[in-house]
Amino acid sequence: MIIFPAIDIIGGQCVRLVKGDYATASKVAEDPLETAKKFEEAGAEWIHMVDLDGAKAGYPVNTEIYKNIAQNTHLKVEVGGGIRSLETIQAYLDLGIARVILGSAALKNPQLVSDAVAKFGAERIVVGIDAKNEMVATEGWLETSDVHYIALAEKMIEAGVRTIIFTDISKDGTLSGVSAEQLRKLRDATAGRCNIVASGGVHTLDDILICRDMGLYGTIAGKSLYQGTLDLKEAITAADTLKIRPMQIADYDAVYDIWMACKNGLNNVDDSREGIARYLERNPDTSFVAEENGVIAGVILCGHDGRRGFIQHMSVDPQFRRRGIGRKLVSRALDALRAHQITKVALVAFKSNDGGNAFWEDLGFTLRGDLNYRNLALTDLIRYNDQ
């Protein structure tokens, strides 16, 4: 489970509200960038940010702050507040924001949500559902609708949304504990069809454990971090349910389902059960799967010929993406290759997979286009003297 430390912004300042009431805004930190860097030092991979001015105004106000953090830390930044158009979403993504949160638009303009998912992908679009007495609130929580939060969640899933942040406004900023009952209802109603992030009420590590044991995707922590009732590093350690272990042929069916979900190019020989069994016999300790709460979330097939390592497949189930699983699989595989004194690694990847190539290049691989592997139009990404 991911821990999302939170920074809310009003007038360029880091603040927290109580139950969404702007009149209760209190400053909790001096500088947004320095606060984000402290979260990063504690081990955070993500940061959750809300433009409270933007939520109230209906358009982005504090954009430069989010840009600064995205471009001056390694944190993946998600931003919400005042996002009402595809153009605004595009502008945020162009600044390096990892994903945007649509709140009021989910209720008032569901077509925007559908269009955004279609254009930018479900990994980049999150819907925030905020509720008072289980009814959806909008416009910076200043308006309450007659739509039940689970009904809206169902509509968002139908629109292609795969991640929902649920906030019980009565809990937000109160340090009174997470809204376990409403979260459990949402989890049961959506039955694994979306990632659920809990927001509001986090006080101590017990709240993190409640969300973790519920099988949630993530939990947002704000006031508890600033007031010291929750230690971020301890929370991240306790929340980590991801296990990476060597792949076994018994994992084949689950791995094949991931390949199909990712639309990987497969062939009937090498990628058959028999072909993978032979592959694992040759490479018994360099191929791995990632498990999240007992469910296989990703796989990397990695081998070597005594001189050079090669990564044949690396896939993460779309339901689990943007959790850093791909990077963790690669890190584990590279560690295994180092144990064999292999420091030169190649990735076999289709030329058309520009997004995938960008991922690997970001990890330090260099793109080459002169490899023709088994007469297929492929590229070779080489990483020398791996660090």
For the stretch 43-80, pLDDT in tens is 999 999 999 999 888 889 999 999 999 999 989 999 99
On whether the CB atoms of residues 79 and 66 are closer than 8 A, the answer is: yes
On whether the CB atoms of residues 255 and 289 are closer than 8 A, the answer is: yes
Q: What is the pLDDT of residue 171?
A: 79
Is 246 found in the same domain as 166? no
Of 158 and 141, the structure prediction assigns the larger pLDDT to: 158
Q: 358 pLDDT band (50/70/90 cuts)?
A: low
Spatial neighbors of 305 by CB under 8 A, at least 6 apart, are none
Is 228 found in the same domain as 256? no
Is 321 found in the same domain as 213? no
CA atoms within 13 A on the CB side of 254: 19
Which of 184, 218, 239 lies at the terminal end of a domain, its last residue? Answer: 239
Give the mean pLDDT of the chain.
Answer: 85
Is 108 found in the same domain as 187? yes
Q: How far apart are CA 40 and CA 358, in angstroms?
A: 23
Q: Is 164 helix (H, G, I), strand (E, B) or coil?
A: strand
> Residue 295 belongs to a domain with what CATH number?
3.40.630.30
Give me Rg for the CA atoms of the chain. 22
Is 197 found in the same domain as 114? yes
Q: 182 pLDDT band (50/70/90 cuts)?
A: very high
Q: 383 pLDDT band (50/70/90 cuts)?
A: very low
Q: What is the pLDDT of residue 381?
A: 46
Is the pLDDT at 351 greater than 60, yes or no?
A: no
Q: Is 290 helix (H, G, I), strand (E, B) or coil?
A: strand
Q: 372 pLDDT band (50/70/90 cuts)?
A: very low
Which among 174, 178, 136, 181 has a CA at the least distance from the CA of 154? 136
Read out DSSP for 315-381? EE-GGGTTSSHHHHHHHHHHHHHHHTT---EEEEEETT-HHHHHHHHHTT-EEE---EETTEEEEEE
Is 232 found in the same domain as 189? yes
Is 276 found in the same domain as 210? no
Of 34 and 123, the structure prediction assigns the larger pLDDT to: 34
- What average pLDDT does range 259-266 have in this prediction? 79
Of 386 and 33, the structure prediction assigns the larger pLDDT to: 33
Q: What is the pLDDT of residue 355?
A: 55
Active site residues: 8, 130
Q: What is the pLDDT of residue 189?
A: 93
- Using DSSP bridges, classify how beta strands 372-373 and 218-221 pair: parallel, antiparallel or unpaired: unpaired
Residues comprising the chain, all counted: 387
Which of 212, 239, 266 lies at the terminal end of a domain, its last residue? Answer: 239
For the stretch 105-141, pLDDT in tens is 888 899 999 999 999 988 899 999 988 888 888 765 6
| Cβ neighbours around 241 below 10 Å, total | 13
> Residue 130 belongs to a domain with what CATH number?
3.20.20.70
For the stretch 191-238, pLDDT in tens is 878 889 999 899 999 999 999 988 888 999 999 999 999 999 999 999
Which among 241, 191, 177, 221 has a CA at the least distance from the CA of 1? 241
Is 317 found in the same domain as 375? yes
Say which DSSP state 114 is in. Answer: H
pTM: 0.72
Structural domain boundaries enclosing 295:
242-383
Is 50 found in the same domain as 154? yes
Of 294 and 44, the structure prediction assigns the larger pLDDT to: 44
Is 266 found in the same domain as 228? no
Is 326 found in the same domain as 218? no
Q: 273 pLDDT band (50/70/90 cuts)?
A: very high
Q: 386 pLDDT band (50/70/90 cuts)?
A: very low
Q: 354 pLDDT band (50/70/90 cuts)?
A: low
Is 262 found in the same domain as 223? no
Tally of domains in the chain: 2
Q: What is the pLDDT of residue 369?
A: 54
Which of 239, 258, 286 lies at the terminal end of a domain, its last residue? Answer: 239
